Amino acid sequence: MVSTNPANSSRSLPSPAEVHKRVRSTFDTGRTRDVAWRKTQLRSLKRMLEESEAELLEALRLDLGKPGVEAFITDIAFVRSEIDLTLKHLDAWMKPERVALPVKQQPGRARIHRDPLGAVLIIGPWNYPVQLIGAPLVGAIAGGNTAVLKPSEVSAHTSRALARLLPLYIDADAFAVVEGGVEETTALLAERWDHIFYTGNATVARIVMTAAAQYLTPVTLELGGKSPVIIDESANLDVAARRIAWGKYLNAGQTCIAPDYCLVDRRVEGPFLTRLHDAVKQFYGTNPIHSPDYGRIINDQHFTRLSRLLDGEGAGEVAYGGGRDEAARYFAPTALRNTDPSSSIMNEEIFGPILPTIVVDNVDAAIEFVTAREKPLALYVFAQDHKVSDRVVHETTSGGVCVNATLFHVAVPTLPFGGIGESGMGAYHGRASFDTFTHAKSVLSRPTRPDPSIAYPPYKGIKAKLLKKLL
């Protein structure tokens, strides 16, 4: 591993360039292509998650104040599920796929082989620092690649834990962790990779794409944006309130697919906000700072940013919440009403426990509001009227949609997860991860007989006429 932590400063550690060279050389040996090797690495990664669960949960608590059960479900168990699914299907995924050959090209055989890409770079974020490094790593291993992992320096305790643990369990010549900040990331991006997988914000994504363009390196970008919730007058408000409150305030709102704002039919705005507040009290009590199930803001910088958004012009009236404790990095679950669509809070990704609400006259107005903005990573609609939910699904564009739910689509491994436009490009999870980290190589095999002369020049006379008819 490479680290910029003071505790490690006395040790001579390899540079990002040297780490890149090592994993590249390992890939060139060919050993990562073997299915048995891939399965061994996946099982070892799962064993690390099981045997080091307590250490990882403590690191997540120190970084984000993550409650133990929440951290286990969203970080540890999530990656374990990805491993289990991949182990179950890897043989089938690796098997060459036969495809039909047109009659005019027979006899012959056409198939698709899934080739490893090579040495890949995975850059993870701080909000789910085990899940969002581990899940892409599962895909990289399954695809037969080597990888360098760059955890976020913001979640420093988890970064340090991953850097210590991973080399103890998986092939240290094939997989390496590089710790550090902008300097180390910049150095890694200067190398020639076969794929770069980045999870984070659109600003840094542009830097990643610029660096990747030097070598025409393909990228997967898992970003964020403002994921809207549409609440129709036909919605079951009790269920909607619980599911929106859970999805919004999980991890103190620091989730890329958290509900960012609500578009509420004006006929149900008041009852919805009342039920939403009731759900918050049911989940976290009347004073969530004392709840063992409510997290904290990652650092002072993000706490200040959230305070600026909440206190900014046009943010609206506080419907409930608004309390803060800077020393504890506690930001209360908060909802706003009468938010101005042109305000800062409606033009920046919130990434925290503040939920603006805007009233709309009907579903037409809600769809118009969403489609006039950047394409979101997720979109949520709550409606008992199936015609309404069907319209939202068909008339809007987003990375994914949940009908009468929030977040849960990300946990379905048979659904590809990814954004579109400003919210990202590419997808992963389950089979989609394997496809992301492999190349679909077309292979055509033909016998040497027959070998009719009509296929070759000179093309004239009867030969030319026959070819025109055949083709």
Average pLDDT, the chain: 95
Same domain, 300 and 338: yes
Sheet harboring 438-445: ordered strands across?
97-99, 109-116, 438-445
Q: Tell me, what's the pLDDT at 24?
A: 98
What's the pTM? 0.94
Q: How many C-beta atoms surround the C-beta of residue 348 within 10 A? A: 14
Assign 3 a pLDDT band (cuts: 50, 70, 90).
very low
Q: Taking residues 128-143, what's their average pLDDT?
A: 98
- Residue 461 confidence (pLDDT): 87
CATH number at residue 264: 3.40.309.10
Which amino acid is residue 352, in one-letter code? Answer: G
Top-confidence range, 8-22, 97-111, 236-250, 440-454:
236-250
**Cis? peptide before 450, omega within 30° of 0:** yes
Q: Are residues 174 and 255 in the same domain?
A: no
User: Is the same domain home to 300 and 381?
Assistant: yes
Q: Active-site residue 70, yes or no?
A: no
- Are 337 and 212 found together in one domain? no
Answer whether residue 7 shows pLDDT above 80: no
In terms of pLDDT, which residue wins out, 466 or 111?
Answer: 111
In a domain, 1, yes or no: no
Q: Are 247 and 227 in contact (CB under 8 A)?
A: no
412 and 378 both lie in a single domain? yes
For residue range 199-226, list pLDDT tens digits in order. 999 999 999 999 999 999 999 999 999 9
Query: Is residue 75 domain-resident?
Result: yes
What confidence tens digit (pLDDT) does each residue in 175-208 have?
Answer: 999 999 999 999 999 999 999 999 999 999 999 9
Domain that holds residue 171: 6-223+422-443
Cα-based distances in Å from 43 to 14, 48, 72, 298? 27, 9, 18, 31
Q: Band of the pLDDT at 452, cuts 50, 70, 90?
A: confident
- The one-letter amino acid code at 322 reads G
- Residues 237-281 have pLDDT tens digits of 999 999 999 999 999 999 999 999 999 999 999 999 999 999 999
Q: Is 336 helix (H, G, I), strand (E, B) or coil?
A: strand
Q: Which of 30, 166, 141 is nearest to 86 (CA)?
A: 141
- The answer to whether position 457 is within a domain reads no
Q: What is the pLDDT of residue 214?
A: 97
| 171 and 268 within one domain | no
- Joined together, the tokens standing for residue 29 give 């040996």
Which residue matches tokens 């990095």?
Answer: 329
> pLDDT tens digits, residue range 89-113?
999 999 999 999 998 888 999 999 9
pLDDT band at 456 (very low <50, low <70, confident <90, very high): confident
Asked if the bond preceding 107 is cis, omega within 30° of 0, the reply is yes
Q: Is residue 222 annotated as a catalytic residue, yes or no?
A: yes
- pLDDT: which is higher, 409 or 452: 409
Render the burial of 430-441: b for 16+ CB within 10 Å, e for the rest. Answer: bbbbbbbbbbee
Whether 345 and 204 share a structural domain? no
Which residue in the list 153, 179, 222, 349 is annotated as catalytic? 222
For the chain, give the number of residues.
471
213 and 254 together in one domain: no
| Whether the predicted pLDDT of 471 surpasses 90 | no
Shared domain check, 267 and 414 = yes
**78-94 vs 131-142: helix crossing angle, rounded to 10:** 10
Residue with tokens 């619980």: 242
Note whether residue 471 is domain-resident: no
Does residue 466 form part of some domain? Answer: no
pLDDT at residue 6 greater than cutoff 50: no
Instruction: Give the residue-averaged pLDDT of 58-77.
Output: 97
| 129 and 45 inside one domain | yes
Residue 146 is predicted with a pLDDT of 98
Residues 407 and 429 in one domain: no
Nearest-10 crossing angle of helices 202-213, 182-189: 30
**In a domain? residue 264:** yes
Which position among 153, 184, 256, 269 bears the catalytic label?
Answer: 256
Number of domains in the chain: 2
Q: At what angle do helices 53-64 and 156-169 cross, to 10 degrees?
A: 160
pLDDT band for position 11 (50/70/90)? Answer: low
pLDDT of residue 2 exceeding 80: no
373 with 437, same domain: the answer is: no
